[in-house]
A and B are shown apart, each in its own frame.
Chain A
Amino acid sequence: MKILLLTHGGWGMALLGSIQMILGKIENVEEEALLPQYTFSEYKERVEARVKTYTADSLIITDLFGGTTTNVAALVGRENGIKVVSGLSAPLLLEACSEIMSNGSYNINQLIDAGRNACKDVVQEVSDRLKQKEEK
């Protein structure tokens, strides 16, 4: 089982480095960077070549919905029966890696929740919590 990160310019491995500060050494995460000179088809071929060796329980995480990373992953994911999640972020990758480390598998809905729920209006969030406590 592998996780393939698809990013504009290749920031996925830097993110993985940050996640390893929290989780320790992580294996089986790879990246295929989208570089400005690639066409849609060239990039698709590169992603396909990587995914060819992957088992169907693997996962592709892309950085930008609406971008070429995600458009290519949509096709490759369908053709190879591999799940694709967009919106790569620290909380999303952290959740994926820690689920796989402890269970040997991931739950796609939990990953998506982890990515979504970590995006907050922070000062407002704290103020709201304080207000709720005062009201109790």
Chain B
Amino acid sequence: MDNIVLCRIDSRLIHGQVMTKWVNQSGAEKIVVIDDHFADDEFLKEVCLMSAPVGLDVVCYSKKEGIQEYAANGFGSDKVLLLLPGLAQMKNVYDQGIRISKIQVGGLGGAPNRKVVFQNITLDDADVEILRYFQQEGVEVIFQTIPEDMPQDLDNILKKYSTK
């Protein structure tokens, strides 16, 4: 530890923004996706692997596999872009050993009772609780969709959430 150059929460996982912007920006040599939904369905998993930039190593794990791989070898020696679909999944793997020090929230999508806090990032009460938890743990959380945007810090975002 720690080869994780970027840990991103993005409900779309690997997609245009990630493959064209963040891979270059972070200097990642490998993408690790942790998502039970994708990892458990062979076709879905292949779609996920297929969407990675050419020449870049990409793996897709379930939460359980991800935790095991991290414990065994810290995802290997390559620089890793770690990608998870949501904050609940992030907390789950963090509590079970993937102790990252910084989280970038890059895309969390809309359901009816969620509030927009920055661009297309939405939160609900459960997310806010998890964010406060990470804050207490001393994990730095920033909100940023693409590198050209100014990263927003957590306090700002929480303030926005409470006034909406």
> What A residues does B12 contact at CB under 8 A?
39-40, 68
- Are A66 and B44 touching (Cβ within 8 A)? no
Majority SS of interface residues in chain B?
Answer: loop
Q: A26 contacts the other chain (Cβ, under 8 Å)?
A: no
B120 touching A74 by the CB < 8 A rule? no
Interface residues of B, count at CB 8 A: 23
Alpha-carbon separation in the docked complex, A74 to B12 (Å): 14
- Contact residue among A40, A65, A66 (Cβ-Cβ distance under 8 Å from B11): A40
| Complex contact A40–B13 (CB within 8 A) | yes
- B19 beta carbon closer than 8 Å to chain A: yes
Q: Are B51's CB and A38's CB within 8 A?
A: no
What distance in Å separates the Cβ of A44 from its nearest Cβ neighbour in chain B? 11
Number of interface residues of A (CB under 8 A): 18
Q: Which of A8, A38, A67, A71 contacts B110 (CB 8 A)?
A: A38
* Complex contact A66–B13 (CB within 8 A): no
A37 at the interface (CB under 8 A from B): yes
Tally inter-chain residue pairs, CB-CB below 8 A: 52
A36 contacts B120, CB within 8 Å? yes
Q: Collect the chain B residues with CB atoms within 8 Å of residue A67's CB.
A: 15-16, 51
Q: Are B15 and A38 in contact (CB under 8 A)?
A: no
Nearest chain B CB to A132 CB, angstrom units = 31
Q: Assuming A71-B48, A71-B51, is B110 touching A42 (CB within 8 A)?
A: yes
Q: Does A56 contact B (CB under 8 A)?
A: no
Q: Which residues of A contact B11 (CB under 8 A)?
A: 39-40
Q: Does A112 contact B (CB under 8 A)?
A: no
Within residues 88 to 131 of chain B, which ones have a CB less than 8 A from any CB in chain A? 107-110, 116, 119-120
Q: Judge whether B109 and A42 touch: CB under 8 Å.
A: yes
Shortest Cβ gap from B70 to chain A (Å) = 24
Whether A75 lies near B43 (C-beta < 8 A) is yes
- B53 at interface by CB-CB < 8 Å: yes
**7 new A-B contacts at CB < 8 Å, known A8-B16, A71-B14:** A37-B116, A39-B108, A40-B85, A42-B109, A66-B15, A74-B47, A78-B43
Binding site for B on A (CB under 8 A): 8, 36-42, 64-68, 70-71, 74-75, 78
> Residues of B with Cβ closer than 8 Å to A?
11-16, 19, 43-44, 47-48, 50-53, 85, 107-110, 116, 119-120
